[in-house]
Amino acid sequence: MAEKTRNQDTDFLFRGILELKTLEECYTFFDDLCTVSETFEMSKRLKAAKMLREGKGYAEVGKETGLSTATISRVNRCLKYGNDGYAMILDRVKENEDA
């Protein structure tokens, strides 16, 4: 899947993101890069992935995040059949919280 979006420009974007070192730097960059709505939408999708991995149902995820069932379904499909991007991030965040 990543091969569909991979090009010189997206490589440049992701290399830039990898240079961010603090939470504050992330806020600064993403505030410039994205609209408030886009940032909130991405955060809701990650929260939905976390909730789905915890065994929460679509109704509960939708109520908590405000996401549509179509978006929740897409997140769930990525969790089950995707590139494991959500799992990688959720695992790393949990590791850092536990440390």
Each residue's pLDDT tens digit, 43-70: 999 999 999 999 999 999 999 999 999 9
Instruction: Tell me: pLDDT of 93 over 60.
Output: yes
Cβ contact 79:52 at 8 Å: yes
Instruction: Give residue-wise pLDDT tens across range 11-34.
Output: 999 999 999 999 999 999 999 999
Question: Residue range 70-81: average pLDDT?
Answer: 97
CB atoms within 10 A of CB 86: 20
Specify the pTM. Answer: 0.90
Per-domain residue ranges of the chain: 1-33, 36-99
**Distance from C-alpha of 4 to C-alpha of 77, rounded to nearest angstrom:** 18
Long-range Cβ contacts of 76-85 (<8 Å, 24+ apart): 76/52, 78/49, 79/49, 79/52, 79/53, 82/1, 83/1, 83/2
State which fold the 36-99 domain adopts. Trp Operon Repressor; Chain A (1.10.1270)
Taken in order 2, 80, 60, 71, the sign of the CA dihedral is positive
